[in-house]
Amino acid sequence: MSHIPFEEGLFGIRGPMSFSPATAKPLNELAEILLRNDNNTLSRGERELIGTYVSYLNDCFFCQNIHGAIAGHYLDCNIQFIDAVKNNFEDTPLSDKIKALLSIAGIVQRGGKHVKPEQIEKARSLGATDKEIHDTVLIAAAFCMFNRYVDGLGTWAPPDWQYYVERAPRRAAEGYAEFDLHK
């Protein structure tokens, strides 16, 4: 049972967003720009992977599965690949630049002060731009917020991966800004 009552049938973050539409609006606008705006040299799939990875590190079931499914949709890959990224991204065929950014995201998850200039320089040496570094840190930081919001209010997450896979295409097509919480 969630810590405060939410509308029946609204799972994960949808319950809190329905409870507080005023804060849902900027939260969703932030997600839309960070994860879906195409004026970005990181692809949507790469950015969703960063969110998925941080949510996995934060042990947030709902977030890692919905964003994992959305990443899978964009990257046209299966759950095994998403699981491989979560468990050991260094061993996957992602680019060295993305691996360096995922590494930074993982460090941000532990705490901002753990990020050291050497890690930033490594990402830069592999081709990461200032904007890509900025966005990686902000995506990781934002998911440290979203994961705590979802779990801190005791929301319920459907346990079946299919639930998330079924919803991924709609989210990918419609985006996060003003999405219908009931669909």
Partner 1 sequence: MPYIKTEDLPGIRALLAFSPATSTPIGELANILLRDTEGLSPAERELIATHVSHLNDCFYCDQSHGEIACYYLGGDRDLVNEVRNNYQTAGVSDKLKSLLYIAGKVQKSGKSVTIEDVEQARLQGATDKDIHDTVLIAAAFCMFNRYVDGLGATTPSDLASYSARAKQVAETGYGNHIFTNKQPIAEKI
**7: contact with partner 1 by CB under 8 A:** no
Q: CB of 1: closest distance to partner 1 in angstroms?
A: 7
User: Binding marks (x or -) toward partner 1, 149..168, rule CB under 8 A?
Assistant: xxxxxx--------------
CA distance 20 to 171: 20
Q: Which two tokens stand for residue 166?
A: 């079924």
* Cβ atoms of 74 and 45 closer than 8 Å: yes
- Residue 133 contacts partner 1 per CB under 8 A: yes
Q: Which is nearer to partner 1, 17 or 165 (CB)?
A: 17
Backbone angles phi, psi at 105, to 5 degrees: -60, -40
Member of 144, 157, 168, 172 binding partner 1 (CB under 8 A): 144
Number of neighbours of residue 11 by Cβ within 10 angstroms: 18
* Torsions phi, psi for 131 (to 5 deg): -65, -40
Tell me the C-alpha to C-alpha distance, in Å, between residue 13 and each of 17, 55, 114, 153.
Answer: 6, 13, 28, 9
Q: Contact, 47 vs 143, CB < 8 A?
A: no
Pattern of binders to partner 1 over 93-122, x per CB under 8 A?
A: -----------x--xx--xxx-x-x--x--
Do the beta carbons of residue 167 and residue 66 sit within 8 Å? yes
Q: Is 33 in the site for partner 1 (CB under 8 A)?
A: yes
For residue 138, state whether it binds partner 1 (rule: CB under 8 A). yes
Among 7, 20, 91, 160, binds partner 1 (CB under 8 A): 20
The Cα–Cα gap between 58 and 141 comes to: 11
Residue choice 69, 85, 140, 172 for contact with partner 1 (CB under 8 A)? 140
Contact footprint for partner 1 (CB under 8 A): 1, 3-5, 16, 19-20, 22-23, 25-27, 29-30, 33-34, 37, 58-60, 104, 107-108, 111-113, 115, 117, 120, 130-131, 133-135, 137-138, 140-142, 144-154
